[in-house]
Amino acid sequence: MIEKNPSPAAPVQHFIRSIVEADLASGKHQGIATRFPPEPNGYLHVGHAKSICLNFGLAQDYQGTCNLRFDDTNPEKESEEYANAIQEDVRWLGFEWNGPVRWASDYFQALYDYAENLILQGKAYVCDLTPEEMREFRGTLTEPGRPSPYRERSPDENLDLFRRMKAGEFPDGSRTLRVRIDMASPNINMRDPVIYRIKRAHHIRTGDQWCIYPMYDYTHCISDALECITHSLCTLEFEDHRPLYDWVLDQLPVPSHPRQIEFSRLELHYTITSKRKLLQLVTQGVVSGWDDPRMPTIHGMRRRGYTPAGIREFARRIGISKSENVVDMAVLEGAVREDLEARAPRVMAVVNPVKVVLSNYQEGLTTSRSAGFHPNHPEFGEREVPIAQEIWIEQDDFAETPPPGWQRLTPGGEVRLRYSYVIKCEEVVKGADGRILELRCTIDHDTLGKNPVGRKVKGVIHWVSAAHALAIEVRLYDRLFLDPEPDGHKDRDFLEFLNPDSLRQVAGWAETCVGQAEPETRYQFERLGYFCADRFEHQPGRRPVFNRTVTLKDSWAREQA
Ligand code: ATP
Ligand code: MG
């Protein structure tokens, strides 16, 4: 049964949409401007997909704009590879950013000039405390901090020292520039946070031009303001940083003052959404790379066969709020499955084959029937499904001693071959070790396109003709972790919960038409699930490689009835 096509689903109302609508209605803004601000220090994951769908989705829904801005203030961890992969992911998800890609580093000079401005106002100072001392002076949640001995330096002295920091006169880490706010603030973020540090690190865009780098909190608010972002959306851990965001902008002659709004991070059961831990999976070789189909990265989901529309629908369903957003993997799989149900052509493949010899079918003869690629989409076309004397069926579709209610093949029992005849199992041929070598069956010649006379055959199984089928490699994926919250255990490492069977590689047989499929073509292999021709390893002229995207809902039996 085909379910509704999910793409035109109505947006789900949430508090950020309400804020945007109110701001447009009151005339506070004529249009909205959002941004997606990833740090190019890893590949994007499903949590980022939520943020992308929110930021770009709002811009679409309210005829606004959304910028893509790299937060590249941490030169050591950042790379061009990551930045390129992120752009590819945003586009693949179906979004386009406003104007050029932006970089926080585009604003390094402006950020520097604003820092001098703060110094001249007496609102920033150069501090010589070591990191340990600074931590000690900062105080705790229950104790106020103490002022740094360097807090009262004059603007002139600070300006001189800051310029010399920039000129490279001091060693890495020896001095910082801090804003002068309130060492007694109950919010630790307001206790004179560092806004510049000295670090001789090669930057992916500015090279060795700078040896001082601005901190994230200082950079982010000013970048937003320079781009005239109206609504700066971020995850809840930045709630405590909002006073600093506003403070910095209140001190400076910036062109706008965006409103920061926080929402809860997505967490998905049975996987992890920490870039650091995902990187660990890659560097330790637990997975084959950032794009391993078991990874919750956008690259991984793409390679596995998830569709952009399926992921967008998932984001729509999980909604946006400030309360915990822990979601079961089944919600993501469900959204993807529904999308594939409507768009993937259906063919037959056998992944765990046992041979069936049709003893009363004429040797050497091939006949065929045409079958549509999709029951609800005649426009997908048809192909011929050939049959000859030997066919492959799924081992699981045969049982010598079947459980009660079994509707598939069994000695002396009958079953229908999908699009073809009813067959009856006459003999089980075994090897010396007891393994089944082949099944000998007969066909009922009078059952093509019609029910047998005088009896009911309920079961329908998939199959392929041995002489015509194409050998394929199939990768069956399961969850990467066995625990719903692998990184939620205090004394156990998340790697302890790896699922040893998360990848099973099997050799199978498929209808020949899949051989022509371009990489990333998706099919339903009837009764087995949705599969996607591997983006990289599936190549014309070579043995096809298919990744199982997701299994089918258990609806196949009903569908055929
Ligand atoms: P990590 O903690 O894994 O390094 P991050 O938040 O530092 O992730 P960024 O590249 O800074 O990664 O994220 C870009 C944007 O995506 C930010 O606005 C961030 O709030 C958002 N984001 C990151 N993870 C999630 C998540 N799990 N759910 C929703 N939004 C997220
Ligand atoms: Mg971040």
The answer to whether residue 555 scores a pLDDT higher than 50 is no
Distance 111 CA to ligand 2 centre (A): 19
CATH 3.40.50.620 domain span(s) along the chain: 15-100+219-268+305-338
Residue 278 CA, closest ligand 1 atom number:
3
Q: Which residues pair with 358 in a beta bridge?
A: 441
Which residue type occupies 484?
P
Residue 365's φ and ψ, nearest 5 degrees, are: -90, 135
Q: Are 277 and 248 in contact, with CB atoms under 8 Å apart?
A: no
Residue 274 CA, closest ligand 1 atom number:
3
Which residue type occupies 347?
V
Please spell the DSSP secondary structure of 440-500, one letter per residue.
Answer: EEEEEGGGTTSPPTTS----EE-EEETTTPEEEEEEEE--SBSSSSTT--SSS-GGGGB-T
Q: Are 87 and 130 in contact, with CB atoms under 8 Å apart?
A: no
Calculate mean pLDDT across residues 518-541: 95
**For residue 545, what pLDDT band results from cuts at 50, 70 and 90?**
very high
Q: What is the pLDDT, as a whole number, of residue 2?
A: 40
Q: What is the pLDDT, as a whole number, of residue 92?
A: 98
- Give the span between the Cα atoms of 255 and 65, in whole angstroms: 17
Residues 171, 177, 183, CA angle at the centre, nearest 5°? 130
Interval 246-294: pLDDT, tens: 999 999 999 999 999 999 999 999 999 999 999 999 999 999 999 999 9
Q: What is the pLDDT, as a whole number, of residue 540?
A: 80
To the nearest 10°, report the CA torsion of 249, 252, 255, 256: 20
Distance 81 CA to ligand 1 centre (A): 18
Of the residues 17, 163, 265, 553, which is catalytic?
Answer: 265
Interval 333-352: pLDDT, tens: 999 999 999 999 999 999 99
Q: Is 558 a catalytic residue?
A: no
Interval 26-82: pLDDT, tens: 999 999 999 999 999 999 999 999 999 999 999 999 999 999 999 999 999 999 999
The secondary structure of residue 186, as a DSSP letter, is S
Distance 183 CA to ligand 2 centre (A): 25
Q: Which ligand is nearest to the CA of 82?
A: 1
User: Which residues form ligand 1's pocket by a CB distance below 6 Å?
Assistant: 37-39, 47-48, 50-51, 71, 234-235, 265-266, 273-275
Q: What is the pLDDT, as a whole number, of residue 497?
A: 97
- Give the span between the Cα atoms of 131 and 174, in whole angstroms: 9
Q: Which ligand is nearest to the CA of 275?
A: 1
Residue whose CA is closest, atom 14 of ligand 1?
38
- Give the span between the Cα atoms of 484 and 328, in whole angstroms: 8
Distance 205 CA to ligand 1 centre (A): 22
Element (H, E) at 318: helix 308-318
Q: How long is the chain?
A: 561
Distance 49 CA to ligand 2 centre (A): 14
Rg (CA), the chain: 31
Q: What percent of the chain stands above pLDDT 90?
A: 95
Q: From 2.40.240.10, 2.60.40.10, 3.30.1490.20, 3.20.20.80, which CATH number describes the 355-466 domain?
A: 2.40.240.10
- Residue 436 burial (CB < 10 Å; 0-12/13-18/19+)? middle
Q: What is the pLDDT, as a whole number, of residue 350?
A: 98
Q: Is 390 a catalytic residue?
A: no
- Give the span between the Cα atoms of 337 and 556, in whole angstroms: 13
- Residue 493 burial (CB < 10 Å; 0-12/13-18/19+)? exposed
Of the residues 102, 175, 197, 275, which is catalytic?
Answer: 275
Q: Kindly give the pairing relationship between strand 414-417 and strand 460-461.
A: parallel
The answer to whether residue 5 scores a pLDDT higher than 70 is no
**For residue 8, what pLDDT band results from cuts at 50, 70 and 90?**
low
The secondary structure of residue 387, as a DSSP letter, is E
3-state helix, strand, coil in the chain (%, to 5): 30, 25, 45
- Give the span between the Cα atoms of 278 and 294, in whole angstroms: 11
Q: From 3.40.50.620, 3.20.20.100, 1.20.1050.10, 3.40.50.970, which CATH number describes the 15-100+219-268+305-338 domain?
A: 3.40.50.620
Q: Kindly give the pairing relationship between strand 353-358 and strand 382-387.
A: unpaired
Q: What is the pLDDT, as a whole number, of residue 553?
A: 76
Residue whose CA is closest, atom 13 of ligand 1?
38
Q: What is the pLDDT, as a whole number, of residue 444?
A: 96
The secondary structure of residue 146, as a DSSP letter, is -
Q: What is the pLDDT, as a whole number, of residue 475?
A: 98
Look-up: residue for tokens 């010589």?
Answer: 128
- Give the span between the Cα atoms of 326 and 266, in whole angstroms: 6
- Give the span between the Cα atoms of 344 and 309, in whole angstroms: 13
CATH 2.40.240.10 domain span(s) along the chain: 355-466
Residue whose CA is closest, atom 18 of ligand 1?
234
Q: Which of 238-242, 293-297, 324-328, 350-354 has the lowest mean pLDDT?
A: 324-328
What is the chain's mean pLDDT, rounded? Answer: 95
Extract the tokens encoding 478: 């399961």
**CATH fold for the domain made of 107-214:** Glutamyl-tRNA Synthetase; domain 3 (3.90.800)
Distance 411 CA to ligand 1 centre (A): 57
CATH 3.90.800.10 domain span(s) along the chain: 107-214
**For residue 556, what pLDDT band results from cuts at 50, 70 and 90?**
very low
- For the stretch 305-328, what's the b/e string if a residue is b when 16 or more beta carbons lie within 10 angstroms of its beta carbon? bbbbbbbbbbbbebbbeeeebebe
Please spell the DSSP secondary structure of 7-60, one letter per residue.
Answer: TTPPPPP-HHHHHHHHHHHTTS-SS-EEEE---SSS--BHHHHHHHHHHHHHHH
Q: What percent of the chain stands above pLDDT 70?
A: 97
Calculate mean pLDDT across residues 457-482: 96
Calculate mean pLDDT across residues 212-239: 98
**For residue 9, what pLDDT band results from cuts at 50, 70 and 90?**
confident
The answer to whether residue 561 scores a pLDDT higher than 50 is no
Residue 50 CA, closest ligand 1 atom number:
29
User: Mutation test of ligand 1: which of 34, 46, 51, 323 has the most ligand atoms closer than 8 Å to its C-beta?
Assistant: 51
Interval 113-163: pLDDT, tens: 999 999 999 999 999 999 999 999 999 999 999 999 999 999 999 999 999
Q: Are 341 and 556 in contact, with CB atoms under 8 Å apart?
A: no
Q: Is 440 a catalytic residue?
A: no
Q: What is the pLDDT, as a whole number, of residue 541?
A: 82
